[in-house]
Each structure stands twice: as C-alpha cells, then as structure tokens.
Amino acid sequence: MKRNVVVLGCLGVVVLAVLFVGGLVALSYNGMVGRAQGVDQAWAQVQNVYQRRADLIPNLVATVSGAANFEKSTLTEITAARASVGQIKLDPNQAPADPARLAQFQQAQDHLSSALSRLLVVVERYPELKATANFRDLQAQLEGTENRITVERQKFNEAVQGYNTTVKTFPNVMLAGLFGFQAKPYFTAKEGADTPPAVRFDFDAKPAPAKP
C-alpha cells in the first residue's frame, strides 16, 4: 500500500514537472512568436513608405523635366536609382534574416534618397519651377515621405532590438534555434549621418575675390 502511494507520488511529481517545463516552453515560444510578428509588422510599414516614395517619383520627374534647360543628368540618376531599387526583391510582409540582403536594399534606397536630395538642391536654380503648385505639392509629399521613412526605420530597429534581446536571453536562447528563431539585422545609419551637410542655396552669388 505504502509502495503504491510512493509510486503515485513520484508520478505526480513527474507530471507536474512535465507540465511546468511544457508551460515554460510554450510561454517562451509564444513570446518569440509575438516579437517576430512585431518585427514583420514594422518591416511592412517600412516597405509601405518606401513604396509611397517610389510612386511619387514618376510624377516628380515628369513635372521637373518640363522645365526649360533643366539638368537632365539629375533626372537620369533618379530614374536609374529608382530602377535599381525595384530590382531588389524582398518579401514585403516578412523582415529579411540575411544581413547582406538588407544591406543591399538599404544601399539602393539610400542612393535614391541622395539623388532626390540633389534634385531638390538643383531645383533652387529654377524659381519658375518652384513656383508651380504641382511641384510644391510633390515636394511637400516627398519631404513628408522622407520623414516617415526615418520614423519607420527607427521603429523597425526598435522592434528588431526587442526581438533579438528576446531570442538571445535565457531561457529563450536554449529554444530559439530549435524553433527556427534567429537574430535579425538592423538598418544602419548612413556614413556621415551624424554630421549635418552644408547646403548652399545662393547660386547667384559671386565668389569673393581671393586675397593677395
């Protein structure tokens, strides 16, 4: 009789231990799933704002190209940069796990950002173009989209940081590999982003004479 009680007690302890461990595993798994979904959601928002910018460019180029004697090389660069971005195919609903692929995507997008910035500087030489309502509207939309890109990239990095912290801390780190959860790459700051660029808009000013 006592032996049966002992056996039943041992079985009860084993069952409780299994339930406890199973509960921890389920909790850990669900936490990693939630974090991963947060990263994918942030990535989708990044893709949305980048697509919004890409959709603005054809109309912008068409508007600017109508200006007399406008620098065609600037428009050619923007068109080529937009085409380069379109050649990089990433899942819009799932954040990339390959750092090299994300770096390639970021490089193409940053190149397009730089080309657009140069366009807006060049436009300063064409007051008649700046005065058109269509261009002013496009410029406002483009600047707003660039701001949203910065915001959404920051949110993405924050989501990735939370996810990476989750999969690298105990006890999740013991289960992450088993369930296929791997650390994800971040967007990185552009080189020189901490130094504000010097932009000179007074194109008509003559250079000061050199001192003897």
65 vs 37: which has the higher pLDDT:
37
Domain 30-179 has CATH 1.20.1440.20: yes
**Rounded to two decimals, what is the model's pTM?**
0.80
Contact 81/28 with Cβ under 8 angstroms? no
Residue 211 pLDDT greater than 80, yes or no: no
Contact 169/135 with Cβ under 8 angstroms? no
Residue 193 pLDDT greater than 90, yes or no: no
Residue 64 pLDDT greater than 70, yes or no: yes
Contact 187/157 with Cβ under 8 angstroms? yes
Angle at 64 between CA 52 and CA 143, to 5 degrees: 40
Q: What is the pLDDT of residues 179-191, one digit of tens each?
A: 889 999 999 976 5
Backbone conformation region of residue 211, classed left if phi is above 0, alpha if psi is from -120 to 50, else beta: beta
Report residue 199's pLDDT band, with 50, 70 and 90 as the boundaries.
very low
Report residue 59's pLDDT band, with 50, 70 and 90 as the boundaries.
very high
Spatial separation of the C-alpha atoms in residues 142 and 15, rounded to whole Å = 61
Residue 140 pLDDT greater than 70, yes or no: yes
Report residue 202's pLDDT band, with 50, 70 and 90 as the boundaries.
very low
pLDDT at 68: 66
Spatial separation of the C-alpha atoms in residues 171 and 148, rounded to whole Å = 36
